[in-house]
C-alpha cells in the first residue's frame, strides 16, 4: 500500500507492507537512521519522533495510520555542523555514553520543553497553572526514554542548560 508523509519538511510517498511501522519506514525506506530501534514495543523511547509536533514512539505507529501526517526526526533538529541548543548541551554535559538512546532523548526533550512552555502540567507539578522545569518535572516527563548507560542526571543537566540558553 501507499502512504504520503512529510518528513522534516519534505514530502515522501512510500510503498509498504501494511505491517510496516513508521520507525521502519523512516529507517529503511527513507534511510533516516538517526531514529533507533531499541525494543520495537514502546518500552524504551529510542524511536521517539515528533508526529504533527507531538512526541510519539514511532515503533508503535503503523505507517498506514499516518497518511498526510508530518514527522520530525533527529535529522530535522540539527546536523553535526549545525547543532541545536539541546544537542550542544548534550555534548557539553556528556548527556550520553553509547549514544544509542540519544536521538530519542533529544526528540523527547525537545517536545518536553515545548510542552512545559505551553503550560501542560504533569502529575508531579506543584503548581498546576505554571509548571516549572524542576529536576523532578524532568525526571517524570523523560521517564519514557531509557538510557542503560544511565546518563540520567547528566541528560537532565543538559536539558536544564539548553532551556536556560533558549530563555
Interaction residues for other proteins, span 24-53 (CB under 8 A):
24, 27-28, 31-46, 48, 51
- Among 5, 7, 71, 77, the residue binding other proteins under the rule CB under 8 A is 77
* Burial readout 107-129 (b: 16 or more C-beta within 10 A, e: otherwise): bbbbbbbebbeeeeeeeebeeee
Q: Can residue 83 be called a binding residue for other proteins (CB under 8 A)?
A: yes
Site for other proteins in 99-138 (CB under 8 A): 99-103, 106, 108, 111-112, 115, 120-123, 135, 138
Q: How far is the CB of 33 from other proteins (least distance, A)?
A: 4
Nearest to 122 by CA among 104, 105, 136: 136
- Among 4, 11, 79, 166, the residue binding other proteins under the rule CB under 8 A is 79
The C-alpha cell at 147 is: 538510557
Quick count: other Cβ atoms within 10 Å of Cβ 41?
Answer: 9
Quick count: other Cβ atoms within 10 Å of Cβ 142?
Answer: 19
Comparison of 11 and 67: residue with beta carbon closer to other proteins: 67
Q: Can residue 71 be called a binding residue for other proteins (CB under 8 A)?
A: no
Comparison of 11 and 79: residue with beta carbon closer to other proteins: 79
User: CB neighbours of 91 closer than 8 A, spacing ≥ 6?
Assistant: 83
Comparison of 51 and 161: residue with beta carbon closer to other proteins: 51
Amino acid at each position: 500500500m501507499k502512504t504520503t508523509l512529510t518528513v522534516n519538511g519534505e514530502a515522501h510517498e512510500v510503498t509498504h507492507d501494511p505491517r510496516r511501522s513508521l520507525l521502519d519506514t523512516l529507517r529503511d525506506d527513507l534511510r533516516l537512521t538517526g531514529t533507533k530501534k531499541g525494543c520495537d514495543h514502546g518500552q524504551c523511547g529510542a524511536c521517539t519522533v515528533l508526529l504533527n509536533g507531538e512526541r510519539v514512539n514511532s515503533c508503535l505507529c503503523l505507517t498506514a495510520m499516518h497518511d498526510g501526517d508530518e514527522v520530525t526526526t533527529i535529522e530535522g533538529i540539527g546536523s553535526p555542523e549545525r547543532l541545536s541548543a539541546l544537542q550542544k548541551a548534550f555534548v557539553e554535559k556528556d548527556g550520553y555514553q553509547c549514544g544509542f538512546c540519544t536521538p530519542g532523548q533529544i526528540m523527547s526533550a525537545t517536545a518536553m520543553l515545548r510542552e512545559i512552555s505551553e503550560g501542560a502540567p504533569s502529575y508531579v507539578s506543584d503548581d498546576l497553572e505554571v509548571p516549572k522545569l524542576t529536576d523532578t518535572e524532568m525526571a517524570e516527563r523523560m521517564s519514557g526514554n531509557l538510557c542503560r548507560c544511565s546518563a540520567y542526571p547528566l541528560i537532565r543537566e543538559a536539558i536544564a542548560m539548553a532551556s536556560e540558553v533558549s530563555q
